Structure 1
Amino acid sequence: MDPHLAQVLKALQETTSGSQPQLQPQQSYDPRRIYQPDIPLPQPVQLPQTYSQPAPPAPEHIDPRTITQWPAALKYITTVVTTNPAAMERLKRMKLHQKDHEKQWWRSREAILQRHSKSSDNRMAMDSVLKSFGVSTSSAELTPEAKIQELQTYDDKVYRASVQMYASMAEDLKSLGIPFFVITEEEFSGDKDSFLEARKKVVELIDDLT
């Protein structure tokens, strides 16, 4: 073989063998790497701890029969009775009932006084008005003494009716658990006048609240 040709073939062989890619050694298969990617997993967010507020204590139950002083009665009515819709509705109806009767009694008394000052013709008209209020009258001319007696008789009638009305109202206040009306005078820490004054203040307070 021509020496020159042999050198060319040798050079080609070396060039061809040097251009072949070098295979990298294959890494061994590890199934655990499927669930272990190179990207780091996000860390769980730490939420701030919340602390629940303790429930407020239940309001202390107060027996109105144990109340014998005005400050305690005032507090009980303004914090317990006023938050009871049913009790407040009954108190409002009681107040209207009282006012209606008092107005009717006053109008009837005024009608009697007007009748006494009118002539005989006008007196007959006033008699019909008084009868509409349930007041019995006489159309005959009255002497001054008779007029006084008629007015006194009517006032006595109104007094008896008012006593009955206030007694009925006191029973209603007792059933609603209103202080000083759920106890007797003997259970009150004071004399009779103080007991009646305490009840009067309670009625005035309820009148303002309704």
Structure 2
Amino acid sequence: MASDNSHDAADLNSVLRTLSSLAAGSSQSTASAQPQNIHPETAGPIHRPTPEIASHNPHQPQSNALNRPATPTVDPATITTWPAALRYVMRTVAQSEETQLRIRGLIRSQHSHERQWWNSREALVKKQLDSKEVSTAKEDEAEITNYDAKVYKASAQMADALIAELRGLRIPFFVLRSGLVRDSPAGGDVKSSDQAASGVTRNELADLQRRMLELLQDLCKE
């Protein structure tokens, strides 16, 4: 059955090459790039914003500067509560079309790869059904298991790439200082009134990150 692996191996290898390119930071801008990886189910790598060069013409109106969103005074690496994170995002991401375009690219790429992986798996199953006379149920199961393991590894790489991109964009809860993240106490979570002073638990941080991803998808949907 080894010779039958070429169909989906090519597709998966293509995805893994894309993921490798993303991790190396060698991909092109998401405005024109082919789908990359985000996990969540991953969009392509994003170039960091390039500072605009001010005009040397004293008579030219500085419209770009006037339209630029105000620089936030809060360091996102210190934000540990949802209300503070929401205010920060609405003052930055919501007012920056460039940032929204980058996040849309991440979402688009993630969805594209998820569809590609699913379609390749369906094609593999169909191929096995069409070639029952030359393969056994055990061989088919091993082939599916091998494919699923490759997809799991690729999706994990894609998730790491997404987190790296969100860190680069300074999104709250993805740039939180390590000193503000603590293990959950054995007796349960600390009181909410103590949360801001003591940071967040790892479980709380995971929940806040998922909530932030949902907000970004709603804010940047096409």
Fold conserved between structures, TM > 0.5: yes
Matched, 1:85 2:97: yes
Bigger Rg, structure 1 or 2: 1
**Alpha carbons 2:72, 2:91 under 8 Å: kept:** no
- Give the whole-Å Cα distance in 2 for the aligned partners of 1:104 and 1:59: 39
Deviation per CA, 1:71-99, whole angstroms, max 9, x where unpaired?
Answer: 21122212321101221111111111111
Aligned counterpart, 2:139: 146
Listed as ranges, the matches of 1:106-145 within 5 Å are 106-119=118-131, 141-145=134-138
Aligned counterpart, 2:205: 195
Aligned counterpart, 1:172: 165
Gaps of 5+ in 2: 1-69, 182-198
Amino acid at match of 1:61: T
Q: Greater strand percent: which structure? A: 2
Aligned-pair identity in percent equals 35
- Give the whole-Å Cα distance in 1 for the aligned partners of 2:177 and 2:122: 37
Instruction: Return structure 1 stretches of 4+ with deviation > 3 angstroms.
Output: none
Gaps of 5+ in 1: 1-57, 121-139
How far off its partner does 1:185 sit? Answer: 5.3
Amino acid at match of 1:201: R
* Aligned mate of 2:116, from 104, 107, 121: 104
- Give the whole-Å Cα distance in 1 for the aligned partners of 2:179 and 2:139: 44
- Give the whole-Å Cα distance in 2 for the aligned partners of 1:59 and 1:181: 19
Q: Secondary structure at the match of 1:158?
A: helix
- Give the whole-Å Cα distance in 1 for the aligned partners of 2:129 and 2:71: 62
**Alpha carbons 1:185, 1:195 under 8 Å: kept:** no
* Aligned mate of 1:65, from 77, 81, 91: 77
TM-score, reference length from structure 2: 0.56
Amino acid at match of 2:124: I
Q: Greater relative contact order: 1 or 2 (C-alpha under 8 angstroms, separation 6 or more)?
A: 2
| Structure 2 CA distance for partners of 1:164 and 1:92, relative to 1, 3 Å | same
Aligned counterpart, 1:55: none
TM-score, reference length from structure 1: 0.59
